[in-house]
Chain A
């Protein structure tokens, strides 16, 4: 789901000086021609490192993202919603599985990645550090957070690393169902009782800032990532992605009669760009560095799951065990 809000720290390009200049030039030429880089191909260390970081963050976002929606599976109102939500969250866990495999082709094991997640060393999408108070929050995620993710993922699917692109193609196909499901849920709230409408309006008020944060800090203040754009690791600037999201979904939200809590939000018909109030980027930094409403809870849940499952994973390593492939 959530390719969004990847954090790229200021990229130090010093290591490039140690790369073979001819190989580097050939590598860049391949990318410029639109070729895909495969796991056994030559690649600069910096490319490998940044890709692992990005794909790993994406994978973590899928499993952590399964938690806020997952807690609504047991509470979903009615058979239809319950079954659809179960299938959706299951897909998200499946995405994590695909993405960990894609990252493993670059030389980091799933186990190492999960250890880095629960120790807090690697990040995941900031949006999941916010709580889902009501069913409507869960619907907001299914529709609009997934919508944001699709904007990012469709762009990233045109990137340069073969295994990541192929994983994203499969993921995007499933995401379009999530989006349809989420939109459907919100339509029912919009056309439901006054209480149901109010539930979604309140969720929208709560989630708008995290949603704006989702695409990462504004271009004015974010780290320079030109080299990642040239290498097709990053496929668009944060502001471009955010603008694309606003352009596609603000009209749909308005169409349902809801109010977006930003009076400055409007499209400039001449440039096609949306104007909006910059969300609080200090809050974004605080949350991504661990001090959000749910960071501790999310990681604690993950940690407990890992801890409780350890004996199973140990048993899987036993020579007497020959079950390896999932039966799903």
Chain B
């Protein structure tokens, strides 16, 4: 098995879930209704937990401790897609981003249940159950707010247009795409994107939202290579603010 390809793949999944989990946790105490505070918080907990599990797999492959890897790297060493690091903005953007991201994550983990890398396949079976709830939550809100009031529909439409170029960046290919596919570690970003498109079309088709014409959209890439927006480094600085004050200390 090409270990470099595998590690690269695990890092991008771990970084995605860590960063989106961080953003979702920012809704704690700030949600539009208490029930949404609670929902975003519980999804964030699952996501941070998933990233810990992935960093633990990486640690078993010889990488540093999960805490060190998560809290001590700088932005250019992170391989999350840029979509996950964008600020929460209003609830409409957060829920649209959550829908676009979670749909891809659910499909990705589902594909990972067939991975030839057995520890990942095992983990994926467990994570799938958590993601079923995340997907249900996202779909429910998108379907409802996407057909409720004029304001909710137009807010979601605007956010959808804003988020879409970044969402396409989820599927930025890694330099090891061929190896991943050939060794059955993962079926590849192209396959994932096809599945994702039909999944989001199905949900959005039940709403009054219009999917932007993808042929006219320039995907925002770079995240998978460590080229990020200006939003990631401040997020990481905040995340590691306490951790970095006392290197080596236990908390």
Spell out A's residues near B (CB within 8 Å): 63, 66-67, 70, 73-79, 81-83, 86-87, 89-90, 93-94, 96-97, 100, 135, 185, 188-189, 192-193, 195-196, 301, 305, 308-316, 318, 320-323, 326-328
Contact = CB atoms under 8 A, between A and B. Distances in A.
B71 interface: yes
Given A192-B250, A318-B148, A89 B29 contact: yes
A74 B211 CA distance: 33
Given A75-B238, A78-B251, A90-B38, A308 B28 contact: no
B45 A312 contact: no
25 contacts: A63-B29, A67-B29, A75-B239, A79-B48, A81-B251, A83-B52, A86-B41, A86-B44, A86-B45, A90-B45, A93-B41, A97-B34, A97-B38, A188-B251, A192-B250, A305-B32, A311-B32, A312-B33, A315-B145, A315-B148, A315-B151, A321-B148, A326-B35, A327-B137, A328-B39
Contacts of A326: 35-36, 38-39
B248 to A, nearest CB: 8
A78 B245 contact: no
A82 B32 contact: no
A295 B137 CA distance: 34
B26 A308 contact: no
Interface residues of B, number: 52
Nearest to A308: B90
B114 interface: no
B215 to A, nearest CB: 31
A70 B41 CA distance: 11
Interface of B: 22, 25-26, 28-39, 41-42, 44-45, 48-49, 52, 66-67, 70-71, 90-91, 133, 136-137, 140-141, 144-145, 147-149, 151-152, 155, 235, 238-239, 241-243, 245-246, 249-251
Contacts of B25: 73-74, 86
Contacts of A135: 242, 251
B66 A79 contact: yes
A74 B26 contact: yes
B91 A309 contact: yes
B239 A195 contact: no
A241 B107 CA distance: 53
Contact of A308 (B91, B238, B241): B91
A192 B149 contact: no
Q: Which 6 A-B pairs have the closest CB atoms?
A: A309-B32, A326-B35, A312-B32, A315-B148, A90-B41, A77-B251
A326 B22 CA distance: 22
A66 B27 CA distance: 11
B189 to A, nearest CB: 27
B246 A79 contact: no
A195 B148 contact: no
Contacts of B52: 79, 83
